[in-house]
Amino acid sequence: MRHSKKSTENNDSNNYKIIAVDDEIGIIDSLSIFLKHSGYTLVGCTNPYEAIEKVKTEQFDLMLLDYIMSPIHGDTVVEEIRKFNKELYIILLTGHKDLVPPLETIKKLSIQAYCEKEDKFDQLLLLIESAFKSIDQVKTIKDMNEELRRSNEKLEKAYLETIETLRYTVEAKDSYTRGHSDRVSAYSVLIGNELNLYDKDLRVLKVGGLFHDIGKIGISETILTKPSKLTDEEYYEIKKHPAIGKQIISNASIFRDIIPIVYSHHERYDGTGYPERFKRR
C-alpha cells in the first residue's frame, strides 16, 4: 500500500485514496470540498455500477457510500464489492438515521460504519480518521505476520540444513546406516500416511527414521562393520546404541520430538526388546 506508518504519523492524509459514491452530484461536490479542506482528496462517482467497476480496477482505501440510490442501493453495491474485495473500508452514508439497513446486513457485508449525512460532516471526518487508523493497524499486523512467516521459513530451512549436516556425520561412521535409515524413514512416513497422521507427526516420523540409529556413532567401528557373527559381548555393545542416541539428541531442542523414536526403536510391544530388557540384565 502506498501509505506508510511514517506518513500516518505525519498526518499526510493525501496518501489515502477515497472513493465517494452518491447518485446526487451535489453531495459528491460537498464531500469533495469538505474533505479537500481537511487534506483528503477523493474520487467521486454518481453511478453505483461504475463505482463497482472502479473498485475492481483501482486500489482504494476507503469508500463513502450512499445507501438509498438508484438504480441500486448501497447494500447491493457492497454485496457486489465483497465478492472480490473483502478489505475495502466502507462507511455507509444515510439521508436519515431511520433509513439504515438492518444491523444484520451491516455486519454480514462487513460495512465498518454508517453516518448520517449532515451539512458540516464533522461526524464523518471523525469516522474517516478512525478508519485510517484502523487501516494502518491492520496493515501493521499483516506486515508483522508476513515477517513472522518469513522467520519461520528461515528457521525451517536452518532446521533441515542441520539435519542434513548431522546425517553426513552418522553416514561417515557407518555407510550401511544410510540406505537403511532412508528406508526406515520412507516406510514410516508411508505407514503414517495410511494411518492419516497429521503433517507435523509425519515430519517427526521422517526425521525420527533418518536419525533412529544415530547412537551408532558411539559404537566401535570394528563391531559395526564386522562381517562375521557378533559375540555376546559385541552384541551387548551394539544394544547400547538407542540409549547413546537418546543422549546425543537430548541436548538439541529441535530433536525433542524424536527422542522416543530413537530410544525405543528396538523395543517391542511386550517389552521384550531393548533398551528395556537390556536394562534388566
The residues of the shown chain that bind Fe ion, judged by CB under 5 A, are 213
User: Three cell numbers at 256?
Assistant: 525433542
Q: Is the peptide bond before 101 cis (omega within 30 degrees of 0)?
A: no
CB of 159 to Fe ion, least distance (A): 23
Closer by beta carbon to Fe ion, 136 or else 213: 213
CB of 199 to Fe ion, least distance (A): 26
Closer by beta carbon to Fe ion, 117 or else 212: 212
Closer by beta carbon to Fe ion, 192 or else 215: 215
CB of 262 to Fe ion, least distance (A): 9
Name which of 84, 80, 62 is nearest 1 in CA terms: 62
User: Three cell numbers at 224?
Assistant: 559395526
CB of 269 to Fe ion, least distance (A): 17
- For 66, half-sphere exposure in the C-beta direction (CA atoms, 13 angstrom radius) is 25
Q: Write the CB contacts of 277 (distance below 8 Å, at least 6 apart in sequence).
A: 271
CB of 174 to Fe ion, least distance (A): 11
* DSSP 8-state secondary structure symbol assigned to residue 148: H
3-class DSSP assignment, residue 18: strand
Closer by beta carbon to Fe ion, 73 or else 277: 277
Name which of 71, 123, 52 is nearest 94 in CA terms: 123
Closer by beta carbon to Fe ion, 44 or else 218: 218
